[in-house]
Amino acid sequence: MDPIEAAKDLFFIERGFLSGNHFAYRADAPVLIDTAYASELGKTKASLERLGIDWGRTRLIVNTHCHCDHVGANRVIQEASGCEVALHPAGRGYVEKADRLATWWDYYDQEAEFFDCARSLADGEILAVGPHELEVLHSPGHSADGIVLYHRREKALFSSDTLLEAGSTVATLRLEGQDSVSAWLASLERIEALDVRVAFPGHGRPFSSIREAVARTKRRLEGYLTRPESVGDDLLKRILVYTLLMRPRVGAAALFDRLMGTRWFPDTIDTYFEGEYRRKYDEVLRGLLERSIVRAEAGTLVATVKP
Ligand SMILES: [Zn+2]
């Protein structure tokens, strides 16, 4: 995917499923918004270099939230450039306390490294990136520290994981709390009130059908309130797919045990399906194989989500 110039010298870089999409402002002292997943450092560096951006000159990294697929290169870039990192105060707090659970990293068995975060981005603040003014909107729900960035002049919204085109969501209520669903719905209301021509999401391609995406996300979240087990089913699918993406060499025979050694898999089943680990594993895997989201290949399972 070629980068898209969302506004002058401000590029949207679409990535796969494992790394979150990110932005780069090309200048003598570049600004980066999110930095993808740790295991894809090389691809991240290459995608910036193709734009003529040397990450060693980075002035500032802004993170839309502190999940591993958005902060993966922070530490390396900060060591190379001495740049500042800015997060919503909630995320800054997790980083200062080195909280590997609130960040989801340990819960989801993910790779990530801490970095120094010396700057907070509060709701309503205007972030200057070159000539661009990005309005910071706190958008809790997916994560308590989530922000979206609104470029009012371009009518462009950097919607991160708060709003994806398919309305697909990852809601970890065990960490974020039951209230996070209503917080998320409120965040969507705020987004709906903006005049948005195009949204650049945290995963997937840019889209203009904002109302439809908001409606899809709301429907799914409202389903979480009326059918709590749908949270569990959605999570289990993601747990399997993410695990296969993060650890592509886990053999089919070893996958169940690997999952049982994590926190998120047994915890999700205990919460929603009364300890039926094997039955739910078989059921979810069967569904993913039937829909060709996962493919069985010579003793391994491969997630077919595009890199
Ligand atoms: Zn996220």
Cα–Cα distance measured from residue 195 to residue 153, given in angstroms and rounded to the nearest whole number: 10
Instruction: Give the distance (Å) from ligand 1 centre to CA of residue 249.
Output: 24
Cβ atoms of residues 159 and 201 within 8 Å: yes
At 213 the pLDDT is: 97
Ligand 1 mean position, distance from CA 56 (Å): 25
pLDDT given for residue 306 in this prediction: 54
Query: Got the DSSP string for 29-56?
Result: S-EEE----GGGHHHHHHHHHTTT--GG
Span from the CA of 143 to the centroid of ligand 1 (angstroms): 7
Q: Output the pTM of the full model.
A: 0.92
Q: How far is the CA of 65 from the centre of ligand 1 (A)?
A: 7
Give the CATH class of 4-226.
alpha beta
pLDDT at res. 251: 84
Indicate the domain borders of the chain: 4-226, 229-303
CA of 274 to the centre of ligand 1 (A): 27
- Let me know the angle formed at the C-alpha of 202 by 168 and 195, rounded to the nearest 5 degrees: 90
Distance from residue 69's CA to the centre of ligand 1 (Å): 7
The segments of the chain whose pLDDT lies below 50 read: 307
Distance 241 CA to ligand 1 centre (A): 15
